[in-house]
């Protein structure tokens, strides 16, 4: 292999012939690639995006959530009772929620929440076993929309 010798005699590292001439080309290529959008969409995709699609859905959404609340309430009550029974006083609120099935239920109802969001907004220590049911959770979420609607950038992958 033809090579270019490093000027400093104490170092024996070499590069392929013409290597440095290709650097500019490659770097420029990368720069151009970075600014050129390599992603595409199906033909006519943006024309299909209409506000009406979403507004109709939003207007229907409350009934969907409430229907799902009823559907999941019995199951969730059992889950939550188990959570409270197994929750030691030393456990943090976040652990309680992370260990629970609440998130799965919340997700199943189109309400997206992180563990920390629920932990920050729902004080589980205030709840006693006899009054807690899954409905309590949902009533709290529905009457405190900020729980779901505040935006945090605290995803662990973000930090």
Q: Which of 101, 113, 124 is nearest to 152 (CA)?
A: 113
Comparing CA positions, the residue from 7, 3, 27 lying closest to residue 15 is 3
Shortest Å distance, C-beta 120 to other proteins:
15
Instruction: Decide: is 12 part of the binding site for other proteins (CB under 8 A).
Output: no
Q: What is the CA radius of gyration of the chain?
A: 28
Contact between 50 and other proteins per CB under 8 A = yes
Q: Which stretch binds other proteins (CB under 8 A): 4-12, 22-30, 73-81, 120-128?
A: 22-30
Residues in 117-156 at the binding interface with other proteins, rule: CB under 8 A: 145-146, 149, 151-153, 155
Torsion angle of C-alpha atoms 46, 52, 55, 59, degrees rounded to 10: -140
- Interface with other proteins in residues 61-120 (CB under 8 A): 61, 107, 112, 114
Q: How far is the CB of 86 from other proteins (least distance, A)?
A: 22
Tell me how far apart the alpha carbons of residues 28 and 22 are, in angstroms, rounded to a whole number.
10
Q: Which two tokens stand for residue 120?
A: 């920050």
**Position among 40, 88, 128, 143 found at the interface with other proteins (CB under 8 A):** 40
Q: What is the DSSP letter of 122?
A: -
Chain positions contacting other proteins, by CB under 8 A = 19, 26, 29-30, 33-42, 45-46, 49-55, 57-58, 61, 107, 112, 114, 145-146, 149, 151-153, 155, 157-159
């Amino acid at each position: 292999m033809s090579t270019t010798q490093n000027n400093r005699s104490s170092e024996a590292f070499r590069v392929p012939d013409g290597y440095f001439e290709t650097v500019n080309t490659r770097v420029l290529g990368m720069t151009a690639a970075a600014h050129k959008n390599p992603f595409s969409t199906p033909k006519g995709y943006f024309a299909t995006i209409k506000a009406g699609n979403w507004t109709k859905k939003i207007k229907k959404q409350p009934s969907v959530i409430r229907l799902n609340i009823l559907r999941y309430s019995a199951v969730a009550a059992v889950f939550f009772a188990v959570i409270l029974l197994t929750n030691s006083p030393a456990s943090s609120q976040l652990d309680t929620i992370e260990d629970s099935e609440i998130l799965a239920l919340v997700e199943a109802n189109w309400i997206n929440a992180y563990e920390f969001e629920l932990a920050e907004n729902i004080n589980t220590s205030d709840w006693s076993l006899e009054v807690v049911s899954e409905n309590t959770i949902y009533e709290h979420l529905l009457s405190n929309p900020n729980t779901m609607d505040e935006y945090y950038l605290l995803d662990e992958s973000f930090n």
